[in-house]
Copies of this chain bind each other. A is one copy, B any other.
Amino acid sequence: MGRWEPGARERLVAAAVDLFTEQGYDATTVTQIAERAGVTKSTFFRLFPDKRELLVAGQETLSRLLGEGIADAPADAGPLAAVADGLRRASGALGPANRELGPRLKAAIAASSELQERDALKTVGLAAAMTSALLARGVPDATAQVAGELGVLAFKRGYARWSEGSRDTDEPLEPYALAALDELRAASAALR
């Protein structure tokens, strides 16, 4: 992002989600998104390849942070303890703007099969990032897959509750994600 347009990325994401919600994903053009955000179309294309990618712009960052948090967990941490460290690391990257975006993003995704596909790929990608980081710690294959799936479920459930919660406070995402992981861990242990 050019330093002459601070916040262009965040403004474009917010403008796009608003427009998708107001008039639908298919009817929204890159020109409209750029106008609403107050940037040029060429700024849009410097930041995003197309309007769909704009919605998953944070995915690479999230995958990287989840993986780094898992890699940096203490050597004696079990797979879920390492996943918790990944969730802590990634949660720190999401702030009030991400929280506020949640419900509108959810509405836009619910209304567009193209966005549903992109969102599904994101989910699978985040799980793969966690599973890979666990495998690199020497966690056995089946365990790494299960722990990676629980990690992405925890992230999604925690994010949903966080973003649907009260707007009054400046609560971080982290406790929501960790509480969701605890809940899923208990559910797994009780499975029969």
Q: Which A residues form the contact surface with B (CB < 8 A)?
A: 78-81, 116-118, 120-121, 123-125, 140, 142-143, 145-147, 149-150, 153, 157, 183-192
A145 — nearest CB in chain B belongs to which residue? Answer: B153
Given the complex, which residues of B lie within 8 Å of A120, measured CB to CB? 117, 120-121, 123-125
Determine the residue in chain B with the shortest Cβ distance to A143: B187
> Which of B80, B121, B145, B187 is A146 in contact with, Cβ under 8 Å?
B187
Q: Which residues of B contact A191 (CB under 8 A)?
A: 78-80, 143, 146-147, 150, 185, 188-189
A181 to chain B, nearest CB (A): 10
Residues of B within 8 Å of A80, CB to CB, are 191-192
Contacts of A145 in B (CB 8 A): 153, 157, 184, 187
Q: In the docked arrangement, what's the CA distance between A149 and B117, Å? A: 18
Cα distance A22–B13 in the bound complex, in angstroms: 40
Closest Cβ–Cβ distance, residue A137 to chain B (whole Å): 14
Chain A's interface: helix, strand, loop or mixed, by majority?
helix
A190–B191 Cα distance when bound, in Å, is 12
Judging by beta carbons under 8 Å apart, are A184 and B81 in contact? no
Smallest beta-carbon distance A190→chain B, Å: 7
Does A143 contact B190, Cβ atoms closer than 8 Å?
yes
With beta carbons under 8 angstroms apart, the residue of B117, B157, B183 that contacts A117 is: B117
Q: Which residue of the partner chain, among B142, B150, B186, contacts A183 with CB atoms under 8 Å? A: B142
Nearest CB on B from A100, distance (A):
25
Query: Which 8 A-B pairs give the minimum distances between C-beta atoms?
Result: A78-B192, A120-B124, A142-B187, A120-B121, A143-B187, A188-B188, A120-B120, A149-B149
- Beyond the given pairs A146-B191, A188-B188, 7 more chain A to chain B contacts, judged by CB atoms under 8 angstroms and listed by A's residue number, are A120-B121, A120-B124, A143-B187, A145-B157, A146-B184, A147-B191, A188-B191
